[in-house]
Amino acid sequence: MTAAREAPHVAEAPTGLRVTFGGAIYPADELAHGAAYELFSADPVDGFQRNPRPGAPLPWHRFVHVTEVAAVHGPRADTPLETPEAPLMVPLNRQRGWSDIHALSQTPAYADDPTVAGIRRTAAIRRGTRMIKALSARQLSGYLRGWLPYGFCYREHDVAHLRTPADLALLRTDADAGRDDPDVVYALRWRAIDPRDYEIPLGAHQRGLVRMPAHDRVGPPVLGTGFTPSGRHVIPEFVTADFADLPMPANATLLAYTPDGTEVVLYTYQPEQRGWLRMAGPQWRHLLTRVPELPPDQEYVPSDDKTKSTRLVGRYRGQEYDAVADPPGEFRVLAMTRAARYPVEALSRRVPYARWRGVPCTALHQEAGWTRLRLCRPDADSVAALGAQCYERGVYEVWAPTAEITDSGMVDIEYAL
């Protein structure tokens, strides 16, 4: 990181917030509940770029992570107090600096190094952690139609400073970059229901993906260090446990990011209505014009519950019900009327598992004697044995004759309330 020289002029941000960064004080806006800041300057400063927003009061801006700022002055955003996320803790000393840690995080040979593993495990998920997954236009359409969170993802806290399509490109898991609008990147953001729903792609746990041949994978390689491939960032990544689908929590959002760093909330998930409610106004509808099978002016998009492989199940007074999670503290019976939304007394995630040709998988759905399977621990041998295809980074799926599937059954993963 290049240190910024002192700004010759400090103006007031619209919020009155100021941040000390690189030895200078800049007007700033808080992002992602304080995980990052947008800094502004009246004059060109190293690392700042032209602010392309029409009518911007200050012509230069940049985005920085909270760990890069020395102090925050003035009023904070008027948001409810939350438990801050555990930051990534890096033991720097004279012998091992930031560039050395970055090199270790990007080297698969160090996947079993205790230093790398120790650093990686400091970035942990708790109940209610905001998670985020960058999406293509095709993937956005899939989530609107009923997909659930799965595969590689990140804590919002770790990537909040990546705000433009160019910066967010390194988080994408798809192969659609050449077909999408380069001026917009989409994302799904949701709150974690429980830490056990996520795994760290670290060491032997994901060695099969680390050794996957290039012609059998999509997206960036999996390093096995628990960090995403990047030329300058150290970003911890996660995968959903066994690459399984996770239940969609209430108030999950589908987002868009524009070249000026604006975050636009496109849709929010309404579980009782079983669909997505459009939040973006007419000025943002152009962001949806290239999303397949989606009229940009559609106010509500119903979600296809028949395609959901994972259910959130709650128990209330000895009876079992479909449940809704609104982490960190609300877990209730799924009901249209408010009076029937009782807090559940027990909660679990119900996942269908199966084996085909000896390979463990989760079962996604069935159709005309065939079952869609997703591999839990993909490696080159199992992918070849099943003829599975890679549909996004780390995710391998295949259609199997239902009659040939063995050890199929539902597994309830209990959550402690």
Encode pLDDT of 313-331 as tens digits.
999 999 999 999 999 999 9
Q: Give the C-alpha separation, 223 to 390, whole Å.
A: 17
Same domain flag for 163 and 290: yes
Q: Give the C-alpha separation, 345 to 195, whole Å.
A: 19
What pTM was computed for the model?
A: 0.93
Residue 88 lies in a domain: no
pLDDT of the residue at 177: 76
Residue 91 lies in a domain: no
Same domain flag for 290 and 188: yes
Residue 247 lies in a domain: yes
Supply the range of the domain harboring residue 251: 104-302
The beta-strand segments (E) located in 123-237 are 130-135, 152-155, 185-191, 198-199
Same domain flag for 200 and 168: yes
Q: CB atoms < 10 A from the CB of 260, how many?
A: 17
Same domain flag for 212 and 119: yes
Same domain flag for 114 and 27: no
Residue 355 scores a pLDDT above 70:
yes
Same domain flag for 170 and 27: no
Report the percentage of the chain scoring pLDDT > 70. Answer: 94
Residue 95 lies in a domain: no
Residue 42 lies in a domain: yes
Report the percentage of the chain scoring pLDDT > 90. Answer: 83
Same domain flag for 286 and 340: no
Task: Calculate the average pLDDT of the chain.
Answer: 92
> Which helix or strand (DSSP H or E) is residue 115 part of?
helix 114-120
Residue 366 lies in a domain: yes
Residue 76 scores a pLDDT above 80:
no
- Structural domain tally of the chain? 4
Q: What is the mean pLDDT of residues 141-170?
A: 96
Same domain flag for 208 and 229: yes
Residue 34's alpha-carbon distances to 10, 15, 321, 334, in angstroms, are 21, 14, 37, 32
Q: Yes or no: say if 25 and 73 are a contact pair by the CB < 8 Å rule.
A: yes
Same domain flag for 314 and 387: no
Same domain flag for 157 and 227: yes
Same domain flag for 209 and 259: yes
Residue 22 lies in a domain: yes
7: tokens are 């700004």
Residue 97 lies in a domain: no
Residue 126 Cα to chain centre, angstroms? 14
Q: Yes or no: say if 153 and 239 are a contact pair by the CB < 8 Å rule.
A: yes
Same domain flag for 42 and 189: no
